[in-house]
């Protein structure tokens, strides 16, 4: 019943031992088809997890080192408060650069919503100052206090209000992807266990004959384990191949923030799904081995 | 070889066999007889640890049956050749592979030359049927194939359960002769049968003993023919 011996036996193979247990068309097809389907789903779960990871990283990194100050003041005070804010920023540790957006810049920012002909001078549009932080960052609370004293119309927006929940959501989506992968492996184990138990029960007479002629339970179990492991490996390889093909022909990600079009692998990420077939085989090996020894213990 | 001390076995509350005390010596030849349902098959199953005694003690090749592990039982069976009444073959394998099955399952297949296997199949007169599947064989052919499978591992003990139950008289004598030959080679043979003519026929060929089971007990253990 040694695991090492069973693993060696599995890898070595034994064509004569394989013939001892009759082939059952139904359980073979069931194991192959289910393993393929599970592997196909696993590829998507993995792609979802990786895409979510990339998105979370992007949302965490994007604007992570930038902030905006919005100055809403009467037109007469706007210029003075802008200079006051820029002066404060120059003296604040952790600020790499600060730049007041020109009218043209602001026009360009608003153009997608209001069109290119927006009369900016006629509207009470706040002045925007774009801040780039150093890697150490700055003390946001301290800056807010100083801005309140020097430029009462200035409001600091460090983007964390909307960036943090989005990054958190993407991070949880990544965890859900991996959880789905674990559940798929669990379902594969359950399916293989049921199929193996059915095969063992259907072959009770074969087992009786094998025991009669001196076969050890480890030999009988290995005959079933090898068969189910090979089926799971073959099915998963086919399912993974089809899954990868399906991912490859998905529309490419034009909008980098879009999760649906970003559902893909990138770079060496394409290699990750290759672990699904051996993982399925290992799951089938373990599940069948446990089921086989449990069933054999129960058989007279 | 096999030692029983007040051994008993029952399928329910009532014991089918009880007070079994005997010794099967190496190289001996025994007939086990008694009416149908007396417990002949159960006795044989106790001898190869398919059943374990519910009372008393049975020692097989020096090992207490109730103390044997699963692997221990498998190892014991590699030293015992069993010929079942219904033969018990793997129907999806040809005759040759069925006969070689004990070698296959113990990974000793490589130790036996194909010529030796063919010689054994020839000895039981089945050369022409070597590639046939068990369901295609007649009752006599199945019994001879079962005998060939039983002895392929060169066992110390051969247990045959009604080996002539489904065959005509000529085939019965042929099977008896094969078993007598094996006994002369030093094998211990136990044949369960209710065929008294077969026992009488054996008298001219071998010195055998009759174990008669009646009322759940062996009542004439050791009686010479």
> Could you tell me how many CB contacts below 8 A there are between chain A and chain B?
60
Closest-CA distance, B159 to chain A, in angstroms, reads 12
Residue A124: exposure state from Cβ atoms within 10 A (0-12, 13-18, ≥19): exposed
Distance CA B84, CA A205 (A): 14
Q: What is the pLDDT of residue B225?
A: 46
With a cut of 50, say whether residue A49 has pLDDT above it. yes
CATH of the domain at A108: 3.30.70.100
Q: Give the model's confidence band at A136: pLDDT under 50 very low, under 70 low, under 90 confident, else very high.
A: confident
Q: Are residues A183 and A292 in the same domain?
A: yes
Q: What is the pLDDT of residue B115?
A: 65
Exposure on the CB side of residue B173, measured as CA atoms within 13 A: 8
Q: What is the pLDDT of residue A260?
A: 55
Pick from A17, A215, A300: CB nearest B74: A215
**First CA to last CA across chain B, in angstroms?**
22
Q: Are residues A148 and A262 in the same domain?
A: no
Q: Is A20 close to B105, i.e. CB distance below 8 A?
A: yes
Domain-terminating residue out of A142, A158, A174: A158
Count of residues in chain A: 300
Closest-CA distance, B72 to chain A, in angstroms, reads 9
Give the three-class secondary structure for B198.
helix
Q: What is the pLDDT of residue B187?
A: 92
Distance CA A138, CA A67 (A): 10
A8-12, A36-40, A107-111, A249-253: lowest mean pLDDT where? A8-12
Q: Are residues A106 and A28 in the same domain?
A: no
* A20 interfacial to chain B (CB closer than 8 Å): yes
Give the three-class secondary structure for A257.
coil
Pick from B50, B82, B105: CB nearest A219: B105
Closest-CA distance, A23 to chain B, in angstroms, reads 9
Distance CA A142, CA A147 (A): 9
* CB-based contacts of B170, cutoff 8 Å, min separation 6: none
Q: Is A16 close to B88, i.e. CB distance below 8 A?
A: no
With a cut of 60, say whether residue A257 has pLDDT above it. no
Parts of chain B with a pLDDT under 70: 108-115, 221-225
Pick from B75, B93, B102: CB nearest A213: B102
**Strand ranges (E), chain A:** 66-71, 95-100, 127-133, 154-157
* Helices (H) then strands (E): counts for chain B: 8, 11
Distance CA B183, CA B162 (A): 17
Q: What is the pLDDT of residue A14?
A: 66
Distance CA B99, CA B130 (A): 9
* A86 interfacial to chain B (CB closer than 8 Å): no
Residue A11: exposure state from Cβ atoms within 10 A (0-12, 13-18, ≥19): exposed
Secondary structure percentages of chain A, helix, strand, coil, to 5: 70, 10, 20
* Domains of chain B, residue spans: 26-49+83-213+220-224
Pick from B50, B90, B106: CB nearest A214: B106
Q: Are residues A41 and A115 in the same domain?
A: no
Domain-terminating residue out of A133, A158, A183: A158
**Residue that wins the pLDDT comparison between A239 and A189:** A239
Domains identified in chain A, total number: 2
What ipTM is given for this predicted complex? 0.86
Give the three-class secondary structure for B101.
helix
CATH of domain B26-49+83-213+220-224: 3.40.50.300
Q: Which of A58-67, A167-176, A213-222, B101-110 has the highest mean pLDDT?
A: A213-222
Q: Are residues A287 and A143 in the same domain?
A: no
| Sign of torsion over alpha carbons A103, A108, A114, A115 | positive
Pick from B89, B93, B105: CB nearest A215: B105
Residues A295-300, mean pLDDT to the nearest whole number? 80
Pick from A20, A214, A300: CB nearest B74: A214
Chain A nearest-CA residue for B107: A17
| Residue of A214, A220, A296, A300 for testing the chain B interface, max B β-carbons within 10 Å | A214
Residue B133: exposure state from Cβ atoms within 10 A (0-12, 13-18, ≥19): middle
| Residue of A212, A222, A298 for testing the chain B interface, max B β-carbons within 10 Å | A212
Q: Do B126 and B95 meet the contact criterion of CB atoms below 8 Å apart?
A: yes
Q: Are residues A132 and A153 in the same domain?
A: yes
Secondary structure percentages of chain B, helix, strand, coil, to 5: 40, 25, 40
Q: Is B70 close to A216, i.e. CB distance below 8 A?
A: yes
| Residue of A199, A213, A220 for testing the chain B interface, max B β-carbons within 10 Å | A213
Domain-terminating residue out of A158, A181, A212: A158
Q: What are phi and psi of B14, to 5 degrees?
A: -80, 130
Give the three-class secondary structure for A12.
helix
With a cut of 70, say whether residue A248 has pLDDT above it. yes
Q: Is B93 close to A20, i.e. CB distance below 8 A?
A: yes
Exposure on the CB side of residue B88, measured as CA atoms within 13 A: 23
Tell me which residue range forms the domain holding A196: 3-60+164-298
* A24 interfacial to chain B (CB closer than 8 Å): no
List the structure tokens of B120: 């054994």
Distance CA A181, CA A38 (A): 9
| Sign of torsion over alpha carbons B6, B11, B13, B15 | negative
Q: Is B92 close to A22, i.e. CB distance below 8 A?
A: yes
Chain A contact set for B74 (CB, 8 A): 211, 214-217
Q: How many CB atoms lie within 10 A of CB A74?
A: 9
Average pLDDT, chain A: 84
Q: What is the pLDDT of residue B108?
A: 67
Q: For tokens 């006969």, what's the residue? A: B99
Q: Are residues A72 and A117 in the same domain?
A: yes
**Strand ranges (E), A31-82:** 66-71
With a cut of 70, say whether residue A256 has pLDDT above it. no
Pick from B78, B88, B106: CB nearest A209: B88
Beta bridge partners of B212: B33
Q: Is B74 close to A206, i.e. CB distance below 8 A?
A: no
């Amino acid at each position: 019943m040694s695991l090492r011996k069973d693993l060696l036996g599995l890898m070595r193979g034994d064509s004569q031992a394989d013939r001892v247990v009759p082939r059952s068309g139904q359980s073979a097809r069931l194991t192959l088809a289910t393993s393929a389907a599970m592997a196909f789903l696993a590829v998507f779960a993995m792609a979802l997890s990786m895409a979510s990871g990339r998105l979370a990283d992007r949302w965490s990194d994007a604007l992570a080192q930038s902030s905006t100050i919005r100055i809403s003041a009467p037109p007469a005070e706007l210029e003075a408060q802008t200079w006051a804010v820029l002066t404060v920023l120059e003296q604040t540790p952790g600020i790499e650069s600060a730049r007041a957006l020109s009218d043209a810049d602001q026009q360009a920012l608003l153009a997608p919503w209001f069109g290119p002909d927006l009369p900016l001078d006629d509207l009470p549009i706040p002045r925007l100052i774009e801040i780039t932080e150093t890697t150490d960052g700055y003390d946001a609370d301290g800056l807010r206090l100083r801005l309140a004293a020097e430029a009462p119309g200035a409001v600091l927006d460090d983007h964390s209000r909307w960036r943090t929940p989005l990054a958190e959501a993407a991070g949880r989506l990544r965890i859900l992807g991996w959880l789905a992968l674990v559940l798929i492996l669990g379902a594969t184990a359950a399916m293989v266990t049921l199929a193996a138990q059915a095969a063992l029960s259907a072959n009770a007479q074969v087992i009786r004959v094998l025991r009669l002629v001196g076969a050890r339970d480890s030999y009988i179990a290995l005959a079933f384990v090898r068969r189910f492991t090979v089926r799971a490996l073959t099915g998963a390889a086919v399912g993974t191949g089809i899954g990868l093909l399906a991912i490859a022909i998905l529309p490419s990600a034009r909008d980098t923030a879009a999760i649906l079009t970003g559902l893909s692998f990138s770079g060496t990420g394409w290699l990750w799904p290759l672990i699904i077939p051996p993982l399925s085989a290992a799951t089938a090996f373990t599940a069948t081995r446990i089921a086989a020894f449990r069933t054999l213990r129960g058989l007279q | 070889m096999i030692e029983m001390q007040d051994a008993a076995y029952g399928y329910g509350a009532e014991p089918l066999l009880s007070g079994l005390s005997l010794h099967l010596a190496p190289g001996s030849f025994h007939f086990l007889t008694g009416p149908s349902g007396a417990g002949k098959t159960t006795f044989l199953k106790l001898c190869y640890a398919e059943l374990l005694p519910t009372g008393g003690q049975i020692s097989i090749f020096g090992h207490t049956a109730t103390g044997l592990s699963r692997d221990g039982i498998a190892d014991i069976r590699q030293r015992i050749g069993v010929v079942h009444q219904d033969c018990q073959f793997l129907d999806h394998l040809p005759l040759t592979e069925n006969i070689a099955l004990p070698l296959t399952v113990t990974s000793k297949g490589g130790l036996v030359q194909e010529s030796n296997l063919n010689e054994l199949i020839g000895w039981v007169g089945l050369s022409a049927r070597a590639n046939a599947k068990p369901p295609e064989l007649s009752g006599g052919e199945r019994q001879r194939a079962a005998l060939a499978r039983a002895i392929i591992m060169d066992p110390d003990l051969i247990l045959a359960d009604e080996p002539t139950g489904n065959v005509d008289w000529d085939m019965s004598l042929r099977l008896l002769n094969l078993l007598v030959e094996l006994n002369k080679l030093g094998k211990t043979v136990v044949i369960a049968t209710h065929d008294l003519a077969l026992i009488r026929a054996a008298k001219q060929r071998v010195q055998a003993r009759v174990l008669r089971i009646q009322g759940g007990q062996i009542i004439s253990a050791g009686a010479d023919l």
